[in-house]
Amino acid sequence: MSIYIREDLTRNEKIQQARRILNENKHSLDAWSILIQDAQDKKIAETREFYESLVTQFPTCGKFWKLYIESELFQRCLIKVLNIDLWKCYLNYVRDTKGKLSSFREKMVQAYDFALEKIGMDVYSYTIWNDYITFLKSVEAVGSFDENKKITAVRKVYQKGIMTPMTNVELLWKDYCTYEMGINQTLAKKIIEERSREFSNVKRVTKEFETLARAIDRNIPCVPPSAPQSADEIKQVTAWRKFILWERSNPLKTEDVLLVARRVVLAYEQCLLCLGYHPDLWYEACAFLEQTSREYSDKGDAHLTKRFLDDAAILYERSVQTFMRSNMLIHFAYADFEEQRLNVDKARSIYNRLLDVNEANLKDPTLAYIQAMRFERRTEGIKAARTLFKRAREDTHFDPVRISVQGELIRDLDSSNANNSQQSRKMGLADSDDEEQQPQLNASDRSTMDIYRQRQQKRVKLTKNISTDQITAPVVT
């Protein structure tokens, strides 16, 4: 029995009809095609069950497995993994899966714009810029209005591309000049002359950019640093740091603060793909976002102020969900960040996650308990801090004899309570300067700790009732 999908139905009606058809005939490729198109416009969490049924029905169809794999993987990693090769693969995926749609042109334009927004400042992004321009040129234009619209779209991408430092940018410039001359030679000479000076600056920056990029291996898998670090590891860390500092120096000498911020953030993002186990880099990236937010706050731009603060929160969250799950210093900084935003419940959840053996699984949570108790004292009072201290004593991982932390415990529980102080000392928490008991930190952690201490010293008061003696930095060397 032949069953057809009626063309006069709305999209939802077609989807419902396709499902009814599959109930009767599980091999109807037309019906499956309708549901596949619907799935591609949704999040993978909503469509995973559908894709499972698709590959279960057609277990040997490589095309359907490819659709499932690409949908699953792109939605999981695309935004987080700003790797140029991955994004090129994504654009090929959109081209392959949307090619037969009536809205193909719009879908591709959206995909290219999205890609350039995220990865268009990469030193190796020339292929994406060039492919986008080629695609726009290939779009059929009927009538003078559509032709002018097409010219405007192509020119816009060209002019943005030639102002972006990247390999082969000179080739893009030559193509642009040829394109303008082919439209209107008189106007082209004027436009090219106006753009030449700016492009000279881009060429200069591109040469510096390429030199810095050559020293970096962007395809190194992210692994914890060895102790001591190998020569290759040191070389890569040094190269990435040099590159980040270069971006922060505003090599383009532009007055566009947002552009500078976007370039710096991209540098940190790509660096963390390879050096994600270095807490100082996570901290610096988040601190940079906070700093940028403050700059926009001073300018009275509420939208960008909030945007960069939210970006910092997202980056902090990503760090503790991935490579920094057991790193106390990043958790402290993240909790401090949320506390300053008056997100007390969020800050508390960060401390609780750090103290959860199933989450962070700290070998020695003593310092984490201290920071959490100080937080509770600031926000809820001494009773809440004592409750947490009781929890710490019941924790089998907690070491009451850690010389490095006893003074802080006593002061946090209640420095005015002599009986409590005596009890604590009986537990082995007497003051001592024995540096051998201090927590051992690697070079990256020490760097983060130094920055964190500076942050604590500059910390703003949450309320008029918070005193400065309640916000001292942790005693760690």
Domains of the chain, CATH where assigned: 11-197 (1.25.40.10), 215-314 (no CATH), 325-477 (no CATH)
If we measure between CA atoms, which residue out of 454, 226, 232, 452 comes closest to residue 327?
Answer: 452
Half-sphere exposure of 220 (CA within 13 A, CB side): 21
318: Cβ–Cβ under 8 A, 6 or more apart, which residues?
A: 80
The percentage of residues in the chain with a pLDDT greater than 90, rounded to a whole number, is 55
Least confident of 166-170, 306-310, 436-440: 436-440
> What is the torsion angle, in degrees rounded to the nearest 10, for the CA atoms of residue 69, residue 74, residue 80 and residue 86?
90
Q: What is the pLDDT of residues 129-160, one digit of tens each?
A: 999 999 999 998 888 898 999 999 999 999 99
Q: Which residue has the higher pLDDT, 269 or 454?
A: 269
Confidence band for 330, pLDDT divided at 50, 70 and 90: very high
Contact of 180 with 192, CB cutoff 8 Å: yes
Please tell me the predicted confidence (pLDDT) of residue 431.
Answer: 37
Q: What is the pLDDT of residues 361-389, one digit of tens each?
A: 888 888 898 899 899 999 999 899 888 88
Contact of 429 with 400, CB cutoff 8 Å: yes
Please tell me the predicted confidence (pLDDT) of residue 73.
Answer: 77
> In whole angstroms, how large is the CA radius of gyration of the chain?
28
- 43 is written with which tokens? 């999040």
Q: How far is the C-alpha of 221 from the C-alpha of 202, rounded, in Å?
A: 31
Q: What is the pLDDT of residues 203-252, one digit of tens each?
A: 999 999 999 999 999 988 899 998 888 999 999 999 999 999 999 999 99
Q: What are phi and psi of 173, to 5 degrees?
A: -65, -45
- Give the mean pLDDT of 310-314: 97
Confidence band for 256, pLDDT divided at 50, 70 and 90: very high
The percentage of residues in the chain with a pLDDT greater than 70, rounded to a whole number, is 81
Confidence band for 260, pLDDT divided at 50, 70 and 90: very high
Amino acid at the residue 42: K
Beta strands of 349-421 (E only): which ranges?
none
Please tell me the predicted confidence (pLDDT) of residue 407.
Answer: 41
- Give the mean pLDDT of 9-15: 77
Please tell me the predicted confidence (pLDDT) of residue 457.
Answer: 59
> What is the torsion angle, in degrees rounded to the nearest 10, for the CA atoms of residue 113, residue 119, residue 120 and residue 123?
-160
Confidence band for 447, pLDDT divided at 50, 70 and 90: low
- 204 is written with which tokens? 């200069």
The SS3 of residue 42 is coil
- Give the mean pLDDT of 306-335: 95
Indicate the DSSP class of residue 228: S
Q: Roughly how many angstroms between the first and final C-alpha of the chain, as a whole number?
A: 78
Indicate yes or no: pTM above 0.95.
no
Q: pLDDT at residue 324 above 70?
A: yes
Cα 378 to its chain centre, rounded Å, is 31
Q: pLDDT at residue 463 above 70?
A: no
Q: Which residue has the higher pLDDT, 435 or 288?
A: 288
Q: How far is the C-alpha of 239 from the C-alpha of 227, rounded, in Å?
A: 19
Please tell me the predicted confidence (pLDDT) of residue 357.
Answer: 78
- Give the mean pLDDT of 431-439: 40
Least confident of 250-254, 270-274, 409-413: 409-413
